[in-house]
Amino acid sequence: MRVVSLLPSATEIVAELGCIDLLVGRSEECDWPPDVCALPSVSRARVDTASLSSRAVDDAVREAVSDGRSLYAVDEGLLERLRPDLVLTQDLCAVCAVSSGELCVLDVPTLSLDPGTLEEIALSVERVGAALGVDGRGRDRAAGMRRDLERVRASVAGLPRPRVFVAEWVDPPYAPGHWIPELVELAGGRNVLGVAGEHSRRVEWDDVRAAEPDLLVLAPCGYTAARAAEEPFPTDVAPRVVAVDANAYYARPAPRVVEGARQLAHLMHPVESPDPGVPAIELSSALTA
């Protein structure tokens, strides 16, 4: 089987299932595990987010979406030459990856992964396993993910629950959606603003102040902890601010969200929950919005 993945989380799942050798192409954003970076890029973002401020990224994305323009360019010639038996993509978020609708004209078989909850992420692992002919591996890996998440939940059961705001974008701020509120609650916190299973939504910093979080987590989608730490934020929103690697452990619906859950549990309950060792940067109030 020849597989092209246009979705970073799907690429990670394929690798988790021991099927990385089936991949013949990827999206420009597929960067884990590192070996996949040697594969040809079939799609790329039209907006160069690396060279823009987060405010400029938000403006560019809003303009493109309002005009009905795709945020991604697909190399149709390369895709045809790769002769994939399956293309992995999504329809969950127009900002995150190529949608299945954009591939219809190319007449290639696709599997769209659109999880909105932690359980649906586990089900995506099972679906990819079935599509690749490794059903048992898919079920086993999904079961392992579920067990790991339940261990995190059990480790903080009955402890005080600090109020947490996870900023899925910082300038302007976005309240978390999809599985992020679930991660906060599972890790022993009380999510403020944003609803599990729904899309993230734009809010104002005054809304965040009114919610009185004890912890502000800077987790802009697609950003590493180091880049998130460079984002400007108001100094009076929360007494504690931490930047995390959302690109790897929060925003991508793949098994590594377990590490995001472990990290949140450690940030809120360091005695009961060990540090998982993934990037986190404690920030002072030196930065201002």
Percentage of the chain beyond pLDDT 70 is 87
Residue 275 falls inside a structural domain: yes
Same domain, 100 and 187: no
Look at residue 221 and give its three-state secondary structure: coil
Percentage of the chain beyond pLDDT 90 is 76
Same domain, 100 and 183: no
Residue 210 falls inside a structural domain: yes
Residue 135 falls inside a structural domain: no
Comparing CA positions, the residue from 38, 55, 258, 225 lying closest to residue 142 is 258
pLDDT at 101 over 60: no
pTM: 0.90
Distance CA(24)–CA(108), nearest Å, equals 14
Domain count along the chain: 2
Residue 95 falls inside a structural domain: yes
Residue 20 falls inside a structural domain: yes
Same domain, 196 and 264: yes
More confident residue, 100 or 287: 100
Q: What is the pLDDT of residues 252-288, one digit of tens each?
A: 999 999 999 999 999 999 999 999 999 999 996 434 4
Mean pLDDT score, 121-127: 98
> Domain with 232 in it: what CATH number?
3.40.50.1980
Same domain, 266 and 180: yes
Residue 96 falls inside a structural domain: yes
Single residue among 95, 114, 133 that ends a domain in this structure: 114
Single residue among 85, 114, 143 that ends a domain in this structure: 114
Which residues constitute the domain of residue 253? 158-283
Distance CA(255)–CA(249), nearest Å, equals 9
Q: What is the pLDDT of residues 168-222, one digit of tens each?
A: 999 999 999 999 999 999 999 999 999 999 999 999 999 999 999 999 999 999 9
Same domain, 227 and 162: yes
Contact 75, 43 (CB under 8 A): yes
